[in-house]
Structure 1
Amino acid sequence: MTEAARQKMVERVRGLLRMAEDPSVTDAESQAFTAKAAELMTRHAIAEAEARAERGEEPDAISRMDYTVAGVGGHGKARVKALADIAAAYGCQSAVRGNNSENTERTIILVGTVSALEALRMLMPSISMQMEASAKFMSSAHVSDIRELRNYTRSELETERKRYYRSFVRAYGQAVAERIREFRARLQEMATHDGESGVTEGSGQNGSVRGAELVLRDDVNRVNEEFHKQFPQLRKHRPERTHSAAGYRAGYRRGRQAELGLETPVTSGRASTLAEGE
């Protein structure tokens, strides 16, 4: 892909994301715009990987990106967990700075290939917007439902709303990340099938897919190596103790249904990791 073609693709993606974030569009329209943007970015990364492999060039460079996460509502840790899961599905590693329980901003430090970080830089705001909108709507509906069951105090209802919201966000990120991984796994399955059929790397379209898949697999190893160089003694954060089974289940289902444009429908045939009773 030439630089002019790449810039044209980037501008198209930005235009789609601007439409997705327009408050005048419906939720379905917003998801559709984000879906198309995600598809374009993913296809671009694969095309670039296969082109480099075919030309015998060096793989995509490893870089670093800082991404600010809001702590509004005390849900910062849940947001960090959700976005870190999504970044990992794109083959990135993450560390976090300032991830305490306060309503303050914190920073996710992402290490990944340049193309993966570029995709995340553009896509994460729109995915976050949809996640937050769903969490807000569903947590409000949940509180309205339980208010009818018995006389909860205002404090009890607010505590339950926060628990539900945080669990919803964490599960939403997990579900979206699963679907991204499924898409990448299908590429590996295509490469395996091509190899069994005797298709060699670089021999036509199927061979190109196989070459790109091998490059993407190598990218993960290079990212891991660079991440451990930059953060050799990373301290793990304690997970949040608050949990709402209802919020987690609702968030997971919404994440599985979110439009991502990665040809990963809810009925994709793969088993989900949402255990019974969650």
Structure 2
Amino acid sequence: MTDGGRIEARVRALLARAEHPATPRPEAEAAHAKAAELMLRHALDEAEVRAGHGERPDPVVYWERVASGAGGHARARTAAAGTVIQAYGGRYAVRGDGTRRQDMTLLIVTTRAARDALALLLPSLELQMERAGRRETDAYMAVVGEDAFARRSDRTRWANGYFRAFVVGYADAVARRITAARSGLRAEAGEGSSRALVLAGEQRRVAEAFAARFPVLGRPRTQRVRADGYRAGQAAGRHADLGGGRLGDGPPAIAP
């Protein structure tokens, strides 16, 4: 088996452990973090070898990913996936607005290696995020009295708001962990190293390709999310600052 095959086998094993319902949350989070770091390190190692041999760098590619509108949560799912994509050095735009429970599509520009890594990581993260969000939302609503809402629809709306905020917070925390891993790999090699130059080159090429594909973009539509659900999601995704608690804070989801 090649080095790439061994890495992929290890990553798939880690993600399978993270996805198993019996895996405790801290262990699942650690498995996701380790999988992301393995893929980042392997991609950088290969890029350094190519650069050392004078070969062409990893190509920049365009791809799309659908965020399900089930439950009316397409915008939250889009923001969640988008922040992880950005942490991997990618850029994205959005098609659709998620109204009437419609799907939305992320229009993504990354390196090929980042696309391949995200194709493994995102489905696993989304599965864990949705499971944790449902579980935490049910636990949260269990202590809210039935008489707290005049109508059942109000209660459902309140629960949905908590779930969406949880999803955004969870993804933000995961993205910060990926960003920290990328920074750690750069620092490990030192500024001015071939690895640092590879990362800088990838960032520049992705930005140029994105600007060429989307020269004009509309203003992103921001949405406030509930602070309680956002904090719970951050804790579940592993400690990160609450910030403003808005989809538009930090690098925003952007729409053409």
Q: State whether TM-score is above 0.5.
A: yes
Aligned to 1:165: 163
- Aligned equivalents of 1:275 and 1:51: distance in 2? 39
Question: Does 2:239 align with 1:274?
Answer: no
Q: Deviations over 1:189-225 (max 9, x none)?
A: 3344xx6xxxxx7xxxxxxxx3112201210111010
Alpha-carbon contact 2:230-2:245 (below 8 Å) kept: no
Aligned to 2:194: 211
Aligned to 1:155: 153
Matched letter for residue 109 of structure 2: V
Aligned to 2:228: 246
Q: Deviations over 1:144-191 (max 9, x none)?
A: 12227x532322211110111111111111111112112222233334
Aligned to 2:44: 46
- Displacement of 1:5: 2.8
- Aligned equivalents of 2:124 and 2:77: distance in 1? 13
Question: In the superposition, relative to structure 1, how do residues 178 and 15 fare at CA in structure 2: closer, same or farther (>3 Å)?
Answer: closer
Query: Which structure would you say has the larger Rg?
Result: 1
Pairwise CA RMSD: 2.4
Identity %: 39
Matched letter for residue 175 of structure 1: A
SS at match of 1:13: helix
What is the TM-score normalised by the length of structure 1?
Answer: 0.79
Question: In the superposition, relative to structure 1, how do residues 37 and 190 fare at CA in structure 2: closer, same or farther (>3 Å)?
Answer: closer
Aligned to 1:230: 213
- Aligned equivalents of 2:222 and 2:162: distance in 1? 16
Alpha-carbon contact 1:147-1:157 (below 8 Å) kept: no
- Aligned equivalents of 2:62 and 2:32: distance in 1? 24
Alpha-carbon contact 1:31-1:130 (below 8 Å) kept: no
Aligned to 2:75: 77
Aligned to 1:221: 204
> Could you list the runs of 5+ residues in structure 1 that have no partner in the other structure?
196-200, 202-209, 257-265, 267-271
- Aligned equivalents of 2:233 and 2:127: distance in 1? 14
Aligned to 1:269: none
Alpha-carbon contact 1:49-1:216 (below 8 Å) kept: no
- Aligned equivalents of 2:221 and 2:167: distance in 1? 17
**Residue pairs, 1:97-246, within 5 angstroms:** 97-147=95-145, 151-153=148-150, 154-192=152-190, 210-241=193-224, 243-246=225-228
- Displacement of 1:22: 4.4
Question: In the superposition, relative to structure 1, how do residues 182 and 157 fare at CA in structure 2: closer, same or farther (>3 Å)?
Answer: same
Matched letter for residue 238 of structure 1: R
Alpha-carbon contact 2:95-2:106 (below 8 Å) kept: yes
> Could you list the runs of 5+ residues in structure 2 that have no partner in the other structure?
247-256
Matched letter for residue 220 of structure 1: Q
SS at match of 1:238: coil
List, as ranges, runs of 4+ consecutive aligned residues in structure 1 with deviation greater than 6 Å: none
- Answer with 50-59 or 163-172: which moved more: 50-59
**Residue pairs, 1:83-94, within 5 angstroms:** 83-94=81-92
- Displacement of 1:30: 4.3
What is the TM-score normalised by the length of structure 2?
Answer: 0.85
